[in-house]
Amino acid sequence: MAMGGLTGVAGGAFRTDFSLPGSESQAALDLLRAHGFDASTGEEAQIVFQAEQGVLDPAVREPMEQLFAAIEQMGIGATVTTPYEEGGQRQISARGDIAYATVSFADRSEEAYRAAAERIHARGEQVTVPGLCFEYGGATFAEEVQVFAEAVGLVGAVIILLIAFGSVLAMGLPILTALFGIGSGVMLVMVGARFITMPDFTLGAAMMMGIGVGIDYALFIVTRYRQALRAGHDPETATVVAIDTSGRAVLVAGVTVVLAVLGLLVMGLASVNGVAVAIAASVLMTMLASLTLLPAMFGFIRGGIDRLGLPHRHGFDASGHRSIWHRWGRVIQRRPWPALVAGAVVLLVLALPVLDMRLGLGDAGNRPTTDTSRRAYDLLAEGFGPGFNGPLMLVAALPHGPADLAQLERLVNRLQATEGVAAVSPPIPSPDGAVAIIPVVPASAPQDDATADLVHRLRDAVLPGADTPGAVLVAGPTAAGIDFTDHTASRMPVFFAIVLGLSFLLLIAVFRSILVPIKAVVLNLLSIGAAFGVIVAVFQWGWAGDLLGVGKPGPIEAWAPMMIFAIVFGLSMDYEVFLLSRIREEYERTRDNATAVADGLASTARVISAAAAIMIVVFIAFSMTPDRSLQLLGLGLAAAVFLDATLVRLVLVPATMELLGDRNWWMPRWLQRVVPTVPVEAAAIPHHAGSQPADVPAGGAQD
């Protein structure tokens, strides 16, 4: 309740802003703001219209002019540049059947943009002319389709938990815990949006992660609690055992995910920082709910956790030694080399598309054709060329005021002769005459490599050699996206190295081993590489894109690889900790590596598979939304978790651990003295002298 009240008072708004402080495009934007181009500092939109009889026909011109005038008189802080005013001929296509008006908004919140778009939409519906159709272009008019991914994910999780636990009450505990954690996390994120720049897909990403990890963490603890009850412990002792074992693993796993995601802060990108903080907050709150709220609920249900059981519950093996997972582990141990080679080859083949990965930022051209902004995008490309949707904006300083405009005309001539330039407009001076804008239309589409080459060519060769009165900067949304992509690509290796290094050190401290952390890092890299390959094939190459409702193929969002890497590496460490901690526990008890691997796999495979299935269902549900960012993030995470829980955990881990034998747990003595111990799952569940309590069935889902 306190968080809800705080959200109501201090909740902020989400806003997609991939600006990059210190970049040339950002410097140009700051210069425009300083010299009176306020209308150019907000979002720009277009009203694109097509008329069979031609846009200059009086039956078309008159109602469209009335529409444009009405928009300016609405008092929504928008100015309209129409094709019918003086100098507007360039806004009419060569065929004369397509034209556009530019709607320039002053800077405002996301909600204010949406409100303005709704009013313009309502006024536009009053224009009805035979043969005339028009669409709305720009992010302001992009349509929002409500897809209740959270509900779909929760329903899928309920079904999986019912199958895994065989009990309605046991199923409800993880769901209830996750909902409380997610609710608190969402409120925290909304408050954070007031102080930190967060893109509009942030809340969806935070909820997606919160639902997935929240249910998983509670699942691990509930499973261990049931084991302790079946071992003959009273509910109080069972709670202590569950928190002292699985609770420790949840704490380490949750902290690992939080640290991995917060590693994104080293990228120095405001919007990426916002998403990272939001996801970390969501994971943190769900982890805390699992460690505090869940044990409290154990106190209410006590030994009745298996009440309201389902018929299939009693068919499970209580020990796990006769389970399919135990038999599977023995199969892998008998033929470790073929299993290792086959698993590695599959992951490497899936990762091959990564070699063709191209980073960038999506735009309206990647949206489904059902969206008005996509149809406007296509109309503009048809009427004015592919580069029209991604114009560049050259910002030139005028040290001597308007007198320098004549000198800029020579620059215009030079630009028109530059390779890759389709059109150049005359300079537009600022109100104070201190700067001027030169619009440049590339010959290639915004996401083409040729457009990025043109931006670099202008900055590195054309402008430095031009005779200009002052500095000339290349800006505009397309140039800003290229700056963002270049910066991200340059910092990504540093980020990867930091996350890998911290994870390696953490695993050394947890498992007191050198080879186990090395193996974990290598195998996790393989599964992440394969997941990257999947998203390249779907979103960049267009394979099976129709199944997800993906629009036109395009580059991979520049922020996505590092975001997926951070999240997946953290989640992979979760499963690594849960599986290896049990193997380590068995090894400490038996000192037999083969037995420890088989028994550890048998005792954890079922619960890890259920946890992974929940994650996959949640991520796939979010990948079905119309938001390309969530589609890409959801599919990448689902693919990574699936591969990690199957090929990595069930094939590669047991195969490599069988081949390494006792060397798995080798660690130099000097390093043992230096590295602190971080015990996880340290306490095995002792069996009570008595039999199981009467209200705890001998069956039930096993971890």
* pLDDT, tens only, 409-452: 889 999 999 999 999 988 989 888 889 999 999 999 998 999 99
**So what's the pLDDT on residue 309?**
62
Statement: the pTM of the whole predicted model exceeds 0.85: no
Measured CA to CA, the distance from residue 622 to residue 630 in angstroms comes to 6
How large a percentage of the chain has pLDDT more than 70? 89
Spatial distance between the Cα atoms of 348 and 526, rounded to a whole number of angstroms: 7
Of 230 and 198, the structure prediction assigns the larger pLDDT to 230
From the centroid of its chain, how far is CA 537?
A: 17
Q: How many CA atoms lie within 13 A of 686 on its CB side?
A: 7
DSSP symbols for 212-266:
HHHHHHHHHHHHHHHHHHHTT--HHHHHHHHIIIIIHHHHHHHHHHHHHHHGGGG
Mean pLDDT of 254-283: 82
Q: Which segment of 12-16, 49-53, 363-367 scores lowest on mean pLDDT? A: 12-16
Q: pLDDT: is 40 or 295 the higher one? A: 295
In this predicted structure, the answer to whether residue 684 has a pLDDT above a threshold of 70 is: no
pLDDT reading at 3 higher than 50: no
* Contact assessment for residue 494 and residue 263, using Cβ atoms and an 8 Å cutoff: no
Beta strands 556-557 and 359-360 are parallel
- pLDDT for the residue numbered 698: 35
127: pLDDT strictly greater than 70 = yes
Q: What percent of the chain has a predicted confidence (pLDDT) above 90?
A: 30
Please check the confidence at residue 697 and state whether its pLDDT lies above 90: no
Q: In the chain, count of helices (H) and strands (E)?
A: 23, 11
Whether residue 133 is predicted with pLDDT greater than 90 in this model: the reply is yes
* 568 has a pLDDT exceeding 50: yes
For residue 381, what are the contacts with CB-CB under 8 A and spacing of at least 6?
365, 388, 389, 445
pLDDT at 690: 43
Instruction: Quick: pLDDT tens for 595-647.
Output: 888 888 888 888 888 888 888 988 888 788 777 888 898 899 999 999 998 89
Render pLDDT for 101-118 as a digit per residue (tens, 0 to 9): 999 887 666 677 888 899
- Domain locations in the chain? 44-137, 149-306+320-356+482-674, 392-475
pLDDT at 652: 93
| pLDDT, tens digit, 9 for 90 and up, residues 201-259 | 778 778 888 888 888 888 888 888 888 888 888 989 999 988 888 888 888 888 888 88
**Yes or no: is domain 392-475 CATH 3.30.450?**
no
Higher pLDDT, 361 or 21: 361
pLDDT of residue 2: 47
pLDDT, one tens digit per residue, over 498-513 is: 888 887 888 888 778 8
Give pLDDT tens digits for 148-190.
Answer: 677 787 888 888 888 877 778 888 888 888 888 888 888 888 8
Question: What confidence score (pLDDT) does residue 681 get?
Answer: 52
Residue 695 pLDDT greater than 60, yes or no:
no
Q: Which residue has the higher pLDDT, 367 or 475?
A: 475
Q: Is residue 310 very low, low, confident or very high in pLDDT (cuts 50, 70, 90)? A: low
| Average pLDDT taken over every residue of the chain | 83
Q: Tell me the sheet residues that pair with 79.
A: 104
Least reliable range by pLDDT among 272-276, 286-290, 525-529: 272-276
Q: What's the pLDDT at 381?
A: 94
* Token output for 154: 């929760």
CA distance 389 to 589: 66
> CATH topology of 44-137 equal to that of 392-475?
yes
Asked if residue 8 has pLDDT above 70, the reply is no
pLDDT tens for each residue of 533-559:
999 999 999 898 777 777 788 899 988
Question: At residue 649, does pLDDT exceed 90?
Answer: no
The dihedral through the CA atoms of 362, 367, 371, 373 has a sign that is positive
* Cα separations in angstroms, 19 against 221, 282, 367: 42, 25, 22
The whole-number average pLDDT for the span 362-369 is 83
d(CA 113, CA 107): 9
Q: pLDDT value at position 599?
A: 85
Tokens of 311: 């018929």
Query: What's the pLDDT score for residue 401?
Result: 86
| Per-residue pLDDT at 339 | 94
Q: Which residues contact 245 (CB under 8 A, 6 or more apart)?
A: 224, 681, 682, 683, 685
Residue 520 or residue 202, greater confidence: 520
Mind giving me the DSSP string for 95-154?
Answer: TSSEEEEEEEEPS--HHHHHHHHHHHHHHHTT---TTEEEEEESGGG-------HHHHHH
pLDDT at position 128 over 70: yes
**121 or 683: which leads in pLDDT:** 121
CATH topology of domain 44-137: Alpha-Beta Plaits (3.30.70)
Highest mean pLDDT, choosing among 61-65, 77-81, 407-411: 61-65
